[in-house]
Amino acid sequence: MEEEKVQWTSHLSFILATVGSAVGLGNIWRFPYIMGKNGGAVFLLTYLFIIAFICIIPLCCELFIGKKYKTDTIQAIKSVNSKFTWVGWLCIITVILIPCFYFVVGGWILNYIWIFLTNNLPANFSGYFNSYSSQIFMPVFLTILFLIMTAAFPFRGVNKGIEKANNIMMPLFTLMLIGLAIYALFQPGAKDGLMFMFKPDFTQFNKTMILTALGQALFTLSIGMGTILTYGSYMKDKTNIIKSGYTLIFCDTLIALIAGIMIFPIVFTFNVEPSAGAALAFISLPEMFSKLPFSSIYGLIFFTLLFFASITSGISMMETGILSIIKNFNITRKRATIILTVIIGLISIPSTLSFGILKDFTLFNKTIFDLLDYSTSNILLPFNTLLICLLSGWCIKSLWKEILGENIFGYIFNILLKFVVPIILILVLVTGL
Ligand code: PFF
């Protein structure tokens, strides 16, 4: 089935969609914490160096391949070199596995929106979260609800669904984020919060910190699973790849920093040990929100913001899989969406139950949820990114010339692409394993 020849209606829509994909839970609940824990400003500088000189390379390759072949990940990689079609499949497997744990969190977010909306706040969030996430019916129901809500956008098509969603949600998200960050800056813990995030600590500069920064950068930029390639395939021909890549990196990092400014002043106002992940978003922060004036409004804005961040990322994961199903199995967009929704739904159920009845069901010492998270973020993402770089560097001879032209920047790009970035990724993989 020939999917309609779609394009983003404007450059801004393309940027909002890619930023929507990149900005997600990774920016809000992970980046600020690992920055604070890994040397503050020193981490930030290392991170900036890594995204500006290393991650920009696979990012541009994915955009380039998408723009050139204007098709899904599998067919595009097949066009680059048909012996490596399996790399495309590997990306699609990755992008199907990620929502199976990411959407579980989406379900928790829906539940918290509900309790803040109805002002039905528990006295103790730690006990509440642990008992809620270990239930059977409600968490599974809300994971599936989040999945269906996400799938509804690509179901309607690229322009009518995905583009509209990002054009509305991303500006709202940014407004809410800036609003909460300004409010946080007026809290008594603002100075300590900012110190935690930014204070340079040179003793932290070591191999582990560099690897942490690189892993975070790949996940947050949605590189290594065909998402950027897919969104790039809807790009207009005249779009400049390198400029778009840097715009995405700039927005993603800025938002992660503002997220930290929104979170840590509050954490330090209440003298709580800084944390990340589920413990931060679903236990310590809500606990503190409930002590602030207008607590339910504050909490409601925070979880709505988290909802926008995660659903726009989710939409991009779904779209990557959907376009591949359309192109490789010759079926309509609506059918493809339903098939993918069912597959993700089925895997998400045991993943959701990993916090309750399947808590003791482990493989390689990890619950299903943790295994999905670990295998995708630590193994598949760097591995796929490595293969995409090697394919782009060695099979598309003109790539660097077409992206930057025959000048010093082009030569540097070519060397980074062919040698430096692959070697770094191999190191990441070897140490990660
Ligand atoms: N970049 C998103 C985040 O930082 O939360 C996660 C993500 C989005 C991963 C899209 C994969 C993807 F295809």
User: What is the mean pLDDT of the segment spanning 172-192?
Assistant: 97
pLDDT grade, residue 157 (50/70/90)? very high
Flag the least confident range among 157-161, 223-227, 341-345, 424-428. Answer: 424-428
- Mutate which of 62, 225, 313, 376 for ligand 1? The one with the most ligand atoms within 8 Å of its CB, which is 313
**Tokens 């192109």, residue?**
327
Q: How far is CA 37 from CA 206, 209, 262, 274, 400, in A?
A: 13, 10, 17, 9, 37
With a pLDDT cut of 90, the percent of the chain lying above it is 90
Burial of 112-122, coded b for 16+ CB within 10 Å and e otherwise, reads bbebbeeeebe
pTM for the structure as a whole:
0.96
Strand partners, 92: none
- How many Å separate Cα 192 from the centre of its chain? 28
Instruction: Please choose from 34, 98, 254, 372 the residue to mutate so as to test ligand 1's pocket, defined by most ligand atoms within 8 A of CB.
Output: 98
Across the range 143-171, mean pLDDT stands at 98
Q: Which residue has the tokens 């967009």?
A: 333
The mean per-residue pLDDT over the stretch 356-383 comes to 95
Distance 106 CA to ligand 1 centre (A): 13
- Residues within a 6 A CB radius of ligand 1: 21-22, 24-27, 95, 98, 219-220, 222, 225, 227, 313, 316-317
Tokens of 349: 């159920």
Confidence (pLDDT) at 269: 95
Question: Residue range 91-100: average pLDDT?
Answer: 98
Give the DSSP per-residue string, 154-173.
HHH-IIIIIIHHHHHHHHHH
Quote the CA–CA distance of 26 and 309 in Å, as a whole number: 9
Mean pLDDT of 253-272: 95
What residue type is 306 in one-letter code? Answer: L
183-187, 242-246, 273-277 — which is least confidently predicted?
A: 273-277
Mean pLDDT of 371-390: 95
**C-alpha span between 188 and 173 (Å, rounded):** 25
pLDDT for the residue numbered 3? 55
pLDDT bin (cut points 50, 70, 90) of residue 361 is very high
pLDDT, residue 431, reads: 81
User: Across residues 345-349, what is the average pLDDT?
Assistant: 98
307 CA to centre of ligand 1 in angstroms = 13
In words, the CATH class of domain 11-370 is mainly alpha
Question: Of 23, 59, 102, which is best to mutate to test ligand 1, by the most ligand atoms within 8 angstroms of its C-beta?
Answer: 102
Residue 243 pLDDT > 70: yes
Q: What is the pLDDT of residues 53-67, one digit of tens each?
A: 999 999 999 999 999
In the chain, where the domains are located:
11-370
Mean pLDDT computed over 269-284: 92
pLDDT at 432: 72
Residue 1's pLDDT band (boundaries 50, 70, 90)?
Answer: low
Distance CA 102, CA 96 (A): 11
- Which pLDDT score is estimated for 207? 86
Q: Which amino acid is at 294?
A: F
Q: Is 366 helix (H, G, I), strand (E, B) or coil?
A: strand
Euclidean distance between CA atoms 30 and 25, whole angstroms: 7
**Mean of the per-residue pLDDT values of the chain:** 95
- Which residues are paired to 366 by β-bridges? 363
- Mean pLDDT of the 16-36 span: 95
- State yes or no: pLDDT of 242 exceeds 70: yes
Q: Over 90: is that where the pLDDT of 295 sits? A: no
Mean of pLDDT values over 410-415: 97
Please give the average per-residue pLDDT across 162-172, as a whole number. Answer: 98
Radius of gyration of the chain, Cα coordinates, nearest whole angstrom:
21
Q: What is the pLDDT of residues 420-433, one digit of tens each?
A: 999 999 988 888 77
Q: How far is the CA of 291 from the centre of ligand 1 (A)?
A: 32
Q: How far apart are CA 377 and CA 336, in angstroms?
A: 25
167 vs 158, 223, 314, CA distance in Å?
12, 22, 15
